[in-house]
Amino acid sequence: MSESRASLPDRTWWRSAVLYQIYPRSFADSDGDGIGDLAGIAAHLDHLRGAPDALNVDGIWLSPIYPSPQKDFGYDISDYCAIDPAYGNLRTFDLLVAEAHRRGLKVLLDLVPGHTSDQHPWFQAARRSRDDPHRELYIWADPAPDGGAPNNWTAAFGGSAWQLEERTGQYYLHSFYPEQPDLNWRTPQTHERMADVVRFWLARGVDGFRVDAIDRSMKDALLRENPPAVPGYLTPFMASGDQLHVWNKNRPETVDVVRSIRAAATAARADVMLLGEAYLPVEILGRYLGTPEQPVFDLAFDFTFIATPWDADEMRVTIEGPEAHLPAHGWPCRALSNHDNPRHGTRFGARALRPAAVLLLTLRGTPVLYMGEEIGMLDVPPPAGIRFDRFGRDACRTPMQWSSEAGGGFTGASPWLPLGDIATVNAQDQRPDPRSLLSLYRELLRLRHASAALSTGTFRSIDLPAGSGAVAYLREADGERLVVIVSFRSEPVQVDLRRAARGRLGASGAVVLSTVPERGAGDPVDLAAVSLAPDEALIVELQAR
Ligand code: NOJ
Ligand code: MG
């Protein structure tokens, strides 16, 4: 009897998936301490999947939930194989995974291979003496002849990347905060320990990992000095402050770090999914996807998307980037917002929330939503004098706005960060309202899941003249042909798609979805003169060929 194909694990489920990032501290507080927790997440899964009015995402990525002194809110880990008591324990974690899986939601954890907390027992041991066996887990160097830092490398959060450890007279390297000493991936010890971590969580049922800051995981063994930045060259991602990060970012050996993580992960679970975080130009990302025979990451965020302003001509270059530069088997991955950057409703202005949702959810590739964007949450700057993140990222990390009641439905107590405008922006009010942003997201997800063209079809840019104020593209699969047109202007825009596509699209189509109420599903569209309302985005179905 031949094996049933349906019983084989689907190794590329993530291609047609929509992922959702949860910042656990700010999603839902179940125990009244003002801090989100795992039981809170489990209690709010109906919002994401399983309920008739759920968004219907396919997977969640949880930012770090491990024990941490919270200097970098979980990205400074003091124990990789446990849960921070503020969030719960391994039992509540298992319950959350079971509840997610029951609904068909995949669960991705955040793997932080680049650095630990300075409170991690490995570092506590390593810093005590040069002879300690843990010493080689970190990167140590003698002071420069003048007693200063060993070289000129700067940390991602500013200042020197080196910190003097007085007791042993050497500096340790930290690519982020000084409380986050970098792990040394040149020793097999680090590979083995991280493999243990990967196995630990896969055995508990997680489906994959978002892998943190991979571009900083390897540095030059000779610690060569970075050259000065050249204005406009490899910016914004390879330069910061006054230097080009030639020797402490995106080293060729970095791919070996990912391969090591992948080897451990796939040995434990063949269909594991690895999503890489690397702030790199899209021209370089392909290296991190490997080959079909030897994949590295399955997906890697294209952050040029997050770095592009709400401008049609600039966005066109950005959305064509992965199409031009990823390898043929590569699959783009984009987010508009995350816990490290101002929310896109704040960056672009709230008027762009609807067309931006259409853009994100109709491009080729796996979209990653950041909790709260589906209801149009904006940045909430904390009051003067309150600052949790020294680098200034608190405003995009404020609690999820579930309802307009006191505590925003997030907490019964006082939230750790202030709530935004819960009276006008909250999930409870938007859920039953067919005109709400939440309903638009839900509808876009429904369309995407129902359409092979949108979820896995080909992408082809339509060549609108520069200055049109809109972008347009064709998504196609099995005879299904959809054109997406997104306006970037708050005044009316008219485009001639017939001419731009040189007749390839035919003369007319029918509306599938519009972000403005004046246009309804089924309305005819004359492709030679598409009049877009201010801030309108439109999906049009063409006649099958
Ligand atoms: C990227 C994470 O997204 C960010 O929040 C963190 O500060 C750095 N990596 C360091 O882990
Ligand atoms: Mg709590």
Tell me the pLDDT tens digit for each residue of 250-260: 999 999 999 99
pLDDT of residue 392: 95
Q: Which residues contact 91 (CB under 8 A, 6 or more apart)?
A: none
Q: Which atom of ligand 1 is nearest to the CA of 157?
A: 7
Q: Is the pTM of this model over 0.85?
A: yes
Residue 135 has pLDDT above 60, yes or no: yes
pLDDT of residue 241: 76
DSSP 150: S
DSSP 139: -
pLDDT of residue 544: 65
Rounded CA-CA distance 423/401 in Å is 9
> How far, in Å, is the centroid of ligand 1 from the Cα of 75?
6
Among 157, 180, 212, say which to mutate for ligand 1: greatest number of ligand atoms within 8 Å of CB: 212
Strands (E), 423-507: 458-462, 470-477, 480-487, 493-495
Mean pLDDT, rounded, for 19-36: 98
Residue 3 has pLDDT above 70, yes or no: no
Q: What percent of the chain shows pLDDT beyond 70?
A: 98
pLDDT of residue 350: 98
Residue 1 has pLDDT above 70, yes or no: no
pLDDT of residue 152: 98
Round the CA-based radius of gyration of the chain to a whole number and report it. 24
pLDDT band at 441; cut points 50, 70, 90: very high
| Catalytic choice (212, 373, 374, 394) | 212
pLDDT of residue 545: 62
Tell which wins on pLDDT, 66 or 239.
66
DSSP 314-365: HHHHHHHHHHHHS-TT---EEES--TTS--HHHHH-GGGHHHHHHHHHHSSS
230-255 confidence digits (pLDDT tens): 888 777 799 987 899 999 999 999 99
473-520 confidence digits (pLDDT tens): 999 999 999 999 999 999 999 999 999 999 899 999 999 999 999 999
pLDDT band at 5; cut points 50, 70, 90: very low
209, containing H or E segment:
strand 208-211
pLDDT band at 9; cut points 50, 70, 90: low
| Chain length of the chain | 545
Mean pLDDT, rounded, for 83-90: 98
Dmax over CA atoms of the chain, in Å, equals 76
| Catalytic choice (179, 182, 207, 277) | 277
Residue 454 has pLDDT above 90, yes or no: yes
> How far, in Å, is the centroid of ligand 1 from the Cα of 283?
22
Mean pLDDT, rounded, for 304-312: 97
Rounded CA-CA distance 50/450 in Å is 17
DSSP 388: S
Residue 4 has pLDDT above 50, yes or no: no
Residue 313 has pLDDT above 90, yes or no: yes
What distances in angstroms separate CA 80 from CA 44, 70, 120, 193, one per listed residue? 25, 14, 9, 10
pLDDT of residue 8: 54
Residue 426 has pLDDT above 70, yes or no: yes
Q: Which atom of ligand 1 is nearest to the CA of 63?
A: 3
pLDDT band at 80; cut points 50, 70, 90: very high
Residue 438 has pLDDT above 60, yes or no: yes
**Residues flanking ligand 1, CB < 6 Å:** 72, 75, 112, 176, 212-213, 277, 339-340
384-408 confidence digits (pLDDT tens): 999 999 999 999 999 999 999 999 9
pLDDT band at 543; cut points 50, 70, 90: confident
- Paired tokens of 146: 């003048």
State the average pLDDT for the chain: 96
Active-site residue 277, yes or no? yes
> How far, in Å, is the centroid of ligand 1 from the Cα of 249?
14
> How far, in Å, is the centroid of ligand 1 from the Cα of 74?
9
CA-nearest residue, atom 6 of ligand 1: 75
Among 62, 66, 72, 78, say which to mutate for ligand 1: greatest number of ligand atoms within 8 Å of CB: 72
Residue 23 has pLDDT above 80, yes or no: yes
177-202 confidence digits (pLDDT tens): 999 999 999 999 999 999 999 999 99
DSSP 273-304: EEEE-----HHHHGGGGB-SSSBS-SEE--TH
pLDDT band at 346; cut points 50, 70, 90: very high
pLDDT of residue 232: 80
